[in-house]
Every structure is written in structure tokens, then in C-alpha cells.
Chains A and B, each alone.
Chain A
Amino acid sequence: KQEVTQIPAALSVPEGENLVLNCSFTDSAIYNLQWFRQDPGKGLTSLLLIQSSQREQTSGRLNASLDKSSGRSTLYIAASQPGDSATYLCAANSGNTPLVFGKGTRLSVIA
């Protein structure tokens, strides 16, 4: 059964810094790895989807990588802004199964 772990649990950085969020998963037979953003009390916004045949995806200041052999994914945020403050969730599935979520990284970007 897929298990997903995210570190750190919380992160506080000054505005303008580049930062990396980490995600690890136990089943290397991964089908999808997806990163989401969640604002307090709100639903989930999909940021990036990496399919099993891909190694990375980019969208604006965000870049996500996938290394199936090591069971890891990273989300890189360039030039962080206060508006990036949110909880970032990593989720993965194996085959046509529901997503399994990590506990998230709560990010605070200080102006």
C-alpha cells in the first residue's frame, strides 16, 4: 500500500528565497505524483502532475521532479512571494487507484 511522507512539516522563509519541499513514497510502481496547494479552510488546487513516464514538470516559478528509483519527489519554488504562503500537499497513486496524501508542508513566506 502506498505511503507518502512530506518534510518539513512547516517552513518559514523570507520573501525572495528559493525553496524546496520534499516528498517520499514507498511504492515505486507509481502511476501519478501530484502536488496541490491548499489555503486555510479551502479546497485543493492542483499545481503540477507528473506521470510515471515523466521526470519533471514546470509551471511558472514551480518545478516538480520525480525519481521513482529513490521514491522521491521535490517541489521547487523560485523567488518565493507572500502569496505563496499555504499548505503544499504531495499525493501519489499506484495504478488506477485513489490518491494517497502526505501530511503536507505548511509554508510561510515573510515579507
Chain B
Amino acid sequence: SAVISQKPSRDICQRGTSLTIQCQVDSQVTMMFWYRQQPGQSLTLIATANQGSEATYESGFVIDKFPISRPNLTFSTLTVSNMSPEDSSIYLCSVGTEGYTFGSGTRLTVV
């Protein structure tokens, strides 16, 4: 199965700023998925990122707040924009090849 490198692993950010999270996959994949895990909660899908097209966002998530790039078949970024303390979560990327694998997560704290 695919191996995903995700960074940063954690960050503490000031409210109103933005953070970009990167995921690099060791093989080419058609779709990449971005999830959010709020404290004490399970994972919620933010969006699906296909190479060469705009990401598809789930209900409750919008492109202006969570812009996603997918420049090629092995890389994607998620930006959390204009952050507030409510954005404090773990953010994870995932790909589905022979089952789904996940990056190690980015633990974001907004102060």
C-alpha cells in the first residue's frame, strides 16, 4: 500500500493567519482525500482532490476556507485560511490503494 508523508506534524498558529499542509505520496494516485478530526471526535471528510480538476467539498466545508491544490498525481496541499480557535484539530490526508492509508496527521492549535 501507498506511503504518505505529511507535514508539518504540528503547529501553533495565531488566529486570522493561514496554514498550508502538504502530503506527498510515494506512488501515483487518482484521488486524495482530506479529513478533519476535531478534539474527541472521529474523522470527517473535508474534500476529495482529483488531479487536474477542482476539489469536491463536503457539506459544511467551502473552498474559500479550505483551498486545496493537486498539481500532480503524487502531491496535494490543504490550506486552512483565516483561522479561528474552532479550527484547532488534527488534519489528515488519505489515499485509497489496496485499502486506505493515511498520513501521520497535522495537529493544529489556533490561539
Contacts and interface: CB of A to CB of B under 8 A. Distances in A.
Interface in B61-103: 90, 92, 94, 96, 98-103
A89 interface: yes
Contacts of A93: 96
The contact size tier of chain A is 20 to 34
A36 B105 CA distance: 14
Interface residues of B, number: 22
A96 to B, nearest CB: 8
A49 B42 contact: no
A43 B100 contact: no
Contacts, number: 53
Given A44-B92, A89-B42, A99-B94, A34 B107 contact: no
B51 interface: no
Interface stretch (A11-19, A62-70, A76-84, A100-108): A100-108
B24 interface: no
Contacts of B44: 101
16 contacts: A32-B96, A32-B99, A32-B100, A34-B99, A34-B100, A36-B102, A43-B6, A43-B103, A46-B100, A49-B99, A98-B48, A98-B96, A99-B33, A99-B94, A99-B96, A103-B41
